């Protein structure tokens, strides 16, 4: 059974991990340290904690959480075999809560899903939108690798595009767009350039600077481009260091990492740049809507 683990053993941690941790043992929750244990929460009710070292003593199962448009909506969609997969990884590294990496991306696509529904925009969809919350990205893209490797060929061939959002609220941010057309050295499969252009045209229209970033497979789009599915996405920077040129474009501090808390305990709620998350979230929503609603489609 899937179990959501919140506040994994550490006071103040807010990470959410989908998976099972064997059979929960019921012990008092007080005085936990990270090493001592994880709190089990099933269906919103704490069911117990674990007293062993959660990092080394257990085999864990991990899950992708996949959400499709309802069948009643799918029935009315013009191009049912052009599925737009919108993905973000749900896990974090064990060292920290993973709020920028990748609470921002997973919360971002969840909000887009909610808005698609509450605004009624889904009624105009020309192609299906599928939301994918990947498990275990930090363990070398386990969730997305598994998904692409095990999806039957006829289902794989229905995927029109993959959009990926991994770190979109970095404190010292830049507006990076995955380089789908090879202008920065990493061309994607045919179609990825068109996806890149959706993002860059959007930023241009808002008078916001952006630039291409490596499209080298370092996140969950990797397994998709490896099988030739066009992909694209956004990123606000990790351990890389901001240049003076980028400060001129985006503000922030030169000589400092885009995210100085990358993969550390300090990647907490205070590690978010709200402007970054707002701008990148809007761009992400724009791209989902463009791919979902465009009558002609993106590719020639």
Cα(153)–Cα(161) distance, integer angstroms: 15
181 binds ligand PHE (CB under 6 A): no
β-pair partners for 161: 84
166 binds ligand PHE (CB under 6 A): yes
User: Cβ 24 to Zn ion, closest distance in Å?
Assistant: 27
Binding mask 83-102 for ligand PHE (x = CB under 6 A): ------------------x-
Q: Which of 223, 82, 84 is nearest to 148 (CA)?
A: 223
Residue with smaller CB distance to ligand PHE, 49 or 170? 170
107 binds ligand PHE (CB under 6 A): no
User: Cβ 83 to Zn ion, closest distance in Å?
Assistant: 23
Phi, psi of 19 (to 5 degrees): 165, 180
Q: Are 134 and 126 in contact (CB under 8 A)?
A: no
Alpha helices in 51-124 (DSSP H): 71-74, 104-118
Alpha helices in the chain (DSSP H): 71-74, 104-118, 142-150, 153-156, 192-205, 222-226, 244-250, 274-293
Contacting residue, 179, 220, 268, 279, with Zn ion by CB under 5 A? 179
Work out the burial of residue 127: count CB atoms within 10 Å of its CB; fewer than 13 is exposed, 13-18 middle, 19 or more buried.
buried
Q: Which does 145 bind (CB under 5 to 8 A by kind): ligand PHE, Zn ion, none?
A: none
Q: Which does 238 bind (CB under 5 to 8 A by kind): Zn ion, ligand PHE, none?
A: ligand PHE
Checking DSSP bridges between strand 231-235 and strand 176-178, what pairing results, if any?
Answer: antiparallel
Cα(115)–Cα(274) distance, integer angstroms: 19
Residue with smaller CB distance to ligand PHE, 25 or 218? 218
DSSP 123: G
Contacting residue, 20, 49, 100, 102, with Zn ion by CB under 5 A? 102
User: Cβ 16 to ligand PHE, closest distance in Å?
Assistant: 15
Q: Which does 218 bind (CB under 5 to 8 A by kind): Zn ion, ligand PHE, none?
A: ligand PHE
235 binds ligand PHE (CB under 6 A): yes
> Which tokens is 154 given?
């006829």
181 binds Zn ion (CB under 5 A): yes
Active site residues: 137
Q: Are 165 and 108 in contact (CB under 8 A)?
A: yes
Residue with smaller CB distance to ligand PHE, 167 or 272? 167
Residue with smaller CB distance to ligand PHE, 122 or 176? 176
Contact residues for Zn ion (CB under 5 A)?
101-102, 166, 179, 181, 183, 196, 212
Contact residues for ligand PHE (CB under 6 A)?
101, 137-138, 166-167, 218-219, 235, 238
């Amino acid at each position: 059974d899937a179990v959501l683990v919140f506040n994994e053993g550490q006071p103040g941690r807010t990470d959410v991990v989908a998976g099972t941790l064997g059979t929960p043992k019921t012990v008092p929750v007080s005085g936990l340290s990270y090493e001592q244990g994880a709190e089990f929460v099933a269906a919103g009710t704490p069911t117990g904690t674990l007293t062993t070292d959660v990092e080394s003593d257990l085999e864990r199962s991990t899950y992708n959480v996949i959400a499709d448009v309802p069948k009643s909506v799918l029935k009315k969609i013009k191009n049912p075999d052009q599925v737009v997969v919108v993905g973000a990884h749900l896990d974090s590294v064990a060292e920290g809560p993973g709020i920028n990496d990748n609470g921002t991306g997973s919360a971002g696509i969840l909000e887009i899903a909610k808005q698609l529904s509450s605004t009624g925009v889904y009624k105009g969809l020309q192609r299906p939108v599928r939301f994918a919350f990947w498990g275990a990205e930090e363990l070398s893209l386990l969730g997305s690798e598994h998904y692409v490797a095990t999806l039957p060929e006829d289902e794989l061939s229905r995927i029109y595009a993959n959009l990926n959002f991994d770190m979109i609220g970095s404190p010292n941010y830049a507006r990076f767009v995955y380089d789908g057309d090879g202008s920065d050295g990493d061309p994607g499969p045919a179609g990825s350039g068109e996806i890149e252009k959706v993002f860059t045209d959007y930023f241009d229209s808002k008078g916001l600077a952006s630039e291409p970033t490596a499209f080298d497979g370092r996140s969950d789009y990797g397994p998709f481009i490896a099988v030739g599915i066009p992909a694209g996405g956004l990123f606000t920077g990790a351990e890389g260091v901001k240049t003076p040129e980028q400060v001129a474009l985006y503000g922030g501090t030169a000589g400092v990492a885009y995210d100085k808390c990358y993969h550390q305990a300090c990647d907490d709620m205070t590690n978010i740049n709200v402007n970054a998350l707002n701008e990148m979230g809007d761009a992400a929503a724009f791209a989902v809507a463009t791919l979902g609603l465009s009558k002609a489609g993106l590719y020639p």
